[in-house]
Amino acid sequence: MERPTTSRRAVLGASAGAFALAGLAACTKDGSSTSPGDAASSAPAGPPLAIEPASDSTGLAVSTEIAATAEGGEVTAVSLVNDKGDTVKGKFRLDKSSWVPNDPLKYKTTYTATVTAKGADGVESTGTTTFTTMASPKKRAGAYLWNADGAVYGVGMPVLVQFKDGYAIDEKNRAGVEKRLFVESEPHQPGAWRWVSGSVLEFRPKEYWEPGTKLKVRVGLGGHPLGDGDFGETDITGDYSISDTKREIIVDNKKKNMVAKQDGKTKKTMDVSLGKPSKPSFYGTMVIMEKLRKTVFDSSTYGVPVDSPDGYRTDIEFAERMTWDGQFIHSAPWSVGDQGQRNVSHGCINVSRDNAEWMYNWTEVGDPIVVKGTEEPVTEGNGWTCWNMSWEDFVKGSALPPPTV
């Protein structure tokens, strides 16, 4: 890491001052003389600093962070001001590898960072670096955060980021992008990002979120380089929370039932009918993705004519989506006689109207659903399937080293 020019100037300036003072002798009580410069040179020095970006750097992205190391010491503070003297707010990353401004910097603006460090002996040192940001870029790509600001979700809700219009990040640029995605949880629960594709990322902790967790998310890509001359459109932030109640749904094909668990205890058991052998329900761990009080299921939306033997167009109540391709928990009064006995659906989990209404009122988006014993596994990415893989497999999808958990 290059030591910034301003830090070297600070050292040289101090030396020049010492030489100037050397010509002014001070008398001691016994008539001998000492130089003030000699006294200054005997004072302990703080740890040498190396700061990035290097001083006088130009054309930097407005997502620039301040990185500093102190030889034999610890960086304790960073302050950043623009050329008008306005202070920029920010904070250290958890590992203190850099100091991150809370918002993107301004384009075509000069900034000065002052870094303070303390040695093992408690002596402090400071260093500065000055840099200038780039002009506003012409090519920008937008993204959005699935998680709604102020919402309350179930314990299985991942953090989901998706780039707009199918924009995809090349693999060589994913680590830099991923590093600009921030998730703060209270209480703190380390987690990791995983690239579902070049356009979609999901974040989860090792285990389900603790009930009552508060989450602050920042997609810090405003002005950040994405590769091939593209830059992030804007920063996105969201604050939301996890429900105080831990809800889990267990569906057992062998027993033909669904068990609703609340805080680890059985709340309700319901008969179900799952997908018939030609259209099986998927097994695995899924998450409630959306809740629809009323909707219409129409087979023609996925290429099966309504008037064909497998076709349908049906009014549905109390539907809760599990997969992108259309598997739901929902009210199915027409199959009550089959529920608990045999599978007759097109892949959905059929329950009675009363049970469907109870489930609809009890659940939250983000509640996990575990389906057991059916013929076909849920495929990766067909819904929010991050809990369907082990933590070890999940972190393999990150472009950064796995976190310490």
Q: Which residue type sits at 181?
A: L
348 catalytic, yes or no?
Answer: yes
| Dihedral Cα 51, 54, 57, 60, nearest 10 deg | -50
Whole-angstrom Cα Rg for the chain: 30
Q: Which residue type sits at 401?
A: P
What one-character-per-residue DSSP string does 274-308 give? -B-TTSPPEEEEEE--EEEEEEEEEGGGGT--TTS
Q: Which residue type sits at 145?
A: L
188 catalytic, yes or no?
Answer: no
- The neighbour count for residue 340, using CB atoms within 10 Å, is 13
Task: State how far the Cα of 260 lies from the Cα of 269, in Å rounded to an integer.
Answer: 6
CA 211 centroid distance within chain: 18
- The neighbour count for residue 199, using CB atoms within 10 Å, is 16
Question: The tokens 């045999």 sit on which residue?
Answer: 342
Alpha-carbon distances, residue 390 vs 142, 204, 215, 244, 404 (angstroms): 31, 11, 23, 25, 16
Task: Choose the catalytic residue: 224, 330, 346, 386.
Answer: 330
Of residues 124, 100, 95, the one with CA closest to residue 113: 100
Task: State how far the Cα of 325 lies from the Cα of 347, in Å rounded to an integer.
Answer: 10
Task: Choose the catalytic residue: 27, 188, 346, 348.
Answer: 348
Which residues are within 8 A (CB) of 158 and not within 5 positions of it... i.e. 6 or more apart? 202, 203, 204, 287, 384, 386
Which helix or strand (DSSP H or E) is residue 67 part of?
Answer: strand 67-70
Torsion angles phi and psi, residue 80, rounded to 5: -135, 130
Of residues 285, 141, 140, 147, the one with CA closest to residue 199: 141
Give the residue numbers marked as catalytic.
Answer: 330, 348
